[in-house]
Structure 1
Amino acid sequence: MSLLEGLMKKMKSLKDTETTITCADGRRFVENKQGTHAIANTIGFVVDTKPDNTPALIITNLYLGSQDCCEESVLREYNIRNVLSIGVEPLYRYENIQYKVMECLDLPETNIKVLVNNCVPYINNSLSKNENILIHCNAGVSRSSAIVIGYLMLEHKLEYDVAYDMVKQARSCIKPNVGFESQLISLK
């Protein structure tokens, strides 16, 4: 028996499998031995049913969190007077709270160094008045954590690893994207 014949015989004994494919736009397909066919559509993203509304205190007066932390009750509970939104616009703006929105895509090629430098004065202004500031993005994982790490590196003269560990200890889910990370490592 040739190698090809042996492989063909072995293939016949394999268990049938089925793969469900979900596209970003919510279209779903099942792929199996008979081919590919469409099934019921769904939404093209994971629904977040559990709010992430507890901001993490990084240093005195500086909090890091997700957009869920922008709820009025959370801002009041933590006495947050300033909100720095990275790449997302807050859904609501409340009285007696100052807002600044910085455009930023969570892409490795986004220049995070320039963004960090543009955020430092706003952060320092809040901290100099001894007011709490929340720095957030959508999930509080990549963009906002990169800003906080960069801030600690520039203003507190910390090395990347030290700043990263400090932020990670306060908010365990952080993970700046690979481009942000490499840029921050070289931040001076």
Structure 2
Amino acid sequence: MSSPPPRGWCRRQSALLADVRAFNKEALRPTPEIRVTTLLGELKLESHDEVYTKTDDFEEEERQRLMDAAVQKLALLRKMSGKDKSPCQVLPGLFIGPIGAARNLKALRKRGITHILNISPIVPCYFRDNPEGAFTYHVVPIYDDSSVDLLPHLEKAVEFIAAGRKAGGVLVHCYAGQSRSASFVIAYLLAKESMSLSEAWTTVRRARPSVQPNQGFLRQLAEYEQSILLNTPTKAICGETNAEEEEVFPLCIEQ
């Protein structure tokens, strides 16, 4: 049989509920000590420093957790890039891929690729100074960030892709081969193949199912499409999104 509740618990509960209803965050004042009375009448004291130490510990643990998750994600991306090394053909003479494709000389040769559009500030142009490579490079040093302004880079990149196709073949790559490279290939299809944004998206995804431009890039591509239809200059779109693509899709793997 359970013991009866202590005397006065109901009154203390009513007082607590009244305090909760009357609580006003703006009325709080700094205090060196926090006094807590439980419903059983027990008095507990907590120093101001102890509270902040607990909060700081929690924030530090959260920062560490996020850092560990980022490291794991990067390790997975690097592992995937080691297997994902085949250029994926979008159209005859037009290929898209990740860093693995950009350094796969055998695959580049096999597909007759002569031009490489490198859309990354960190991925090297592996065969730029290699006589065995003899590739023509164009670099767009941007990150995969929704606030990055693509539009000033599109015209030169589109003409480079067109020249590469005429010369034999062109590879458009970034690091993962999902967002930046896909955005520039889509821009080319809009400008040179007279496709709609929907058609271009479908065409690129058919070649490489993992493609997923970030939301900022997609908004700018929609504006680029309108500028082509209206034959007017484009203006940069500044915008951010919290949407993140975490899905993992099949890769193009060299057989």
> Which deviations, in whole Å up to 9, do the C-alpha atoms of 1:155-183 show, x marking residues without a partner?
11111111001101110000001000011
> Which deviations, in whole Å up to 9, do the C-alpha atoms of 1:40-77 show, x marking residues without a partner?
xx777324224211111011100000010022222122
**Counterpart residue identity of residue 45, structure 1:** L
Q: Is the 8 A contact 1:23 1:44 kept in 2?
A: no
Spell out structure 1 runs of 4+ moving beyond 4 A. Answer: 1-5
Q: CA deviation at 1:111?
A: 1.5
Counterpart pick for 2:94 among 47, 62, 66: 62
Kindly indicate whether residue 85 of structure 2 is the aligned counterpart of residue 45 of structure 1.
no
Kindly indicate whether residue 151 of structure 2 is the aligned counterpart of residue 113 of structure 1.
yes
Select the structure that is richer in strand. 1
Counterpart pick for 1:81 among 114, 118, 135: 114
Alignment partner, residue 39 of structure 1: none
Q: CA deviation at 1:121?
A: 1.5
Kindly indicate whether residue 135 of structure 2 is the aligned counterpart of residue 92 of structure 1.
no
Structure 2 unaligned spans of 5+: 1-9, 18-37, 39-61, 229-255
Q: Is the 8 A contact 2:115 2:171 kept in 1?
A: yes
Kindly indicate whether residue 175 of structure 2 is the aligned counterpart of residue 138 of structure 1.
yes
Distance 1:27 1:55, change over 3 A: closer
Larger Rg: 2
Distance 1:77 1:128, change over 3 A: closer
How does 1:147-186 map onto structure 2 within 5 Å? Answer: 147-186=184-223
Distance 1:76 1:22, change over 3 A: farther
% of aligned pairs identical? 24
**Counterpart residue identity of residue 49, structure 1:** K
**Counterpart residue identity of residue 124, structure 1:** A
Distance in 1 of aligned mates of 2:69 and 2:203: 41
> Which deviations, in whole Å up to 9, do the C-alpha atoms of 1:105-142 show, x marking residues without a partner?
2111211122221201211111223x111000000000
Match of 2:164, SS state, is: helix
> What's the TM-score, normalizing by structure 1?
0.75
Counterpart pick for 1:22 among 65, 74, 87: 65
Q: Is the 8 A contact 2:118 2:125 kept in 1?
A: no
Moved more, 75-84 or 174-183: 75-84
Alignment partner, residue 26 of structure 2: none
Match of 2:177, SS state, is: coil
Distance in 2 of aligned mates of 1:183 and 1:20: 33
Distance in 1 of aligned mates of 2:105 and 2:75: 25
Structure 1 unaligned spans of 5+: 9-18, 29-41
Tell me the C-alpha RMSD between the 2 structures: 2.9
Select the structure that is richer in helix. 2
Q: CA deviation at 1:20?
A: 10
Q: Is the 8 A contact 2:87 2:108 kept in 1?
A: no
**Counterpart residue identity of residue 119, structure 1:** A
**Counterpart residue identity of residue 57, structure 1:** Q
